[in-house]
Amino acid sequence: MGAPSALPLLLLFACCWAPGGANLSQDDSQPWTSDETVVAGGTVVLKCQVKDHEDSSLQWSNPAQQTLYFGEKRALRDNRIQLVKSTPHELSISISNVALADEGEYTCSIFTMPVRTAKSLVTVLGIPQKPIISGYKSSLREKDKTTLSCQSSGSKPAAQLTWRKGDQELHGESTRIQEDPNGKTFTVSSSVTFQVTREDDGADIVCSVNHESLKGADRSTAQRIEVLYTPTAKIRPDPPHPREGQKLLLHCEGRGNPVPQQYVWEKEGSVPPLKMAQESALIFPFLNKSDSGTYGCTATSNMGSYKAYYTLNVNDPSPVPSSSSTYHAIIGGIVAFIVFLLLILLIFLGHYLIRHKGTYLTHEAKGSDDAPDADTAIINAEGGQSGGDDKKEYFI
């Protein structure tokens, strides 16, 4: 008999509750809310709704169980808390300039029989401070190893730190987490060790803090480093193709940190240096064939020296085709073509005139042969006057 008597209770339990806490009893007087996450300093809106209010008002209270609003009536004098909407079916309030102390469970109540409540968990995110880089003191030498440290406080939950050099990611140690004295936020730190090269001179080592409160915004600090390295040099001739009789400048272009302070010019086969000065150019006012040879330039700084070489071959003084001569050649070709066309036109015009002039003379000659002689015409006229029977023609 015990088992059948327990069956109605089991059926009632199955009808009223389902896995996951879903209320299937369709209690229209049960209010509902939602959890909220807000960044410290921001504004959060708490909304409580009910389907059947049973002629009762909704109420919001804070984690300390202090009433904030009962219906549209303010209960706690805190200007940060404002009424957003108050109806028999909804009570919404806003809290501005949210602080970490505002975090906790807020309760929405409706005073029916029995009293029904709903909870809203407000999570406040602590914004991490701008990271601080330490460990860099002075210039580094090429191939030195250096260690930099980065720290950021005030994050909640704990933030993550990353390193990069320019656009290149640096693999630092894992982020260390330490709780702040307030017991709510955290201080995070990380270090990175790397070897510097001459390409790192002037590079920015960047420490970035990643946290959900930043919403994708960049919060980072950069440390620019200086790397000292030995100089390099190369020789550049001006003009590029020197010829006998021209003026030539050989530029010794030195690069380094610090930049070279002294340049020494030498020619192979010549014992004394040609020039020793701070200026980097070697000048030939008037080139001769005897200036041909191999020249060396030694660039020196307090980090070391570097010697560059250049072989000078003095060419004949014949002009080298230039862009201006090419331009003149093009213009000359165009003029010659135009003259050629004019000659062709004159030849055709002359031929046309000669041909038409010959035709005119031929017609003139034919006209003179067909016309009667003047004397013959006179005699014919006289013969006609003497009579029709004795017509005679006389030709003189």
Query: Cα dihedral angle (357, 360, 361, 367), rounded to 10 degrees?
Result: 180
- Across the strands, what pairs with 302? none
Whole-angstrom Cα distance, residue 268 to residue 295?
6
Q: What is the per-residue pLDDT across 27-54, written as a single tens digit (0 to 9) for each?
A: 889 999 999 999 999 999 999 999 998 8
- Tokens 């049960």, residue located: 30
Q: What is the per-residue pLDDT across 266-292, written as a single tens digit (0 to 9) for each?
A: 999 887 778 777 688 999 999 999 999
Q: Are the beta carbons of 61 and 81 closer than 8 angstroms?
A: no
Phi/psi of residue 6, nearest 5 degrees: -85, -15
Give the closest residue to 150 by CA, choosing from 174, 183, 181, 182: 174
pLDDT of amino acid 271: 77
pLDDT of amino acid 275: 78
The answer to whether 32-125 and 239-312 have equal CATH topology is yes
Annotated domain spans of the chain: 32-125, 132-229, 239-312
Homologous superfamily of domain range 132-229: Immunoglobulins (2.60.40.10)
Q: What is the DSSP letter of 17?
A: B
pLDDT of amino acid 392: 39
Q: Are the beta carbons of 383 and 376 closer than 8 angstroms?
A: no
Q: Which CATH architecture has domain 239-312?
A: Sandwich (2.60)
Q: Could you tell me the two tokens for 202?
A: 């002037």
Tens-of-pLDDT digits for all 396 residues of the chain? 334 444 333 333 333 333 333 333 458 899 999 999 999 999 999 999 999 988 899 999 999 999 999 999 999 999 999 999 999 999 999 999 999 999 999 999 999 889 999 999 999 999 999 999 999 999 999 999 999 999 999 999 999 999 999 889 999 999 999 999 999 999 999 999 999 999 999 999 999 999 999 998 999 999 999 999 999 999 999 999 999 999 999 999 999 999 999 999 999 988 777 877 768 899 999 999 999 999 999 999 999 999 999 999 998 886 555 556 667 778 888 999 999 999 998 898 888 888 776 555 455 544 444 444 444 433 343 444 434 444 433 332
Amino acid at 104: G
pLDDT of amino acid 359: 58
Sheet containing 81-87, strands listed edge to edge, beginning at the edge strand earlier in sequence:
44-49, 90-95, 81-87
- Across the strands, what pairs with 247? none
Whole-angstrom Cα distance, residue 242 to residue 262?
26
Q: Are the beta carbons of 85 and 71 closer than 8 angstroms?
A: no
Q: Are the beta carbons of 255 and 227 closer than 8 angstroms?
A: no
CATH class of the structural domain 32-125: mainly beta
Upper half-sphere CA count for residue 229 (Cβ side, 13 Å): 18
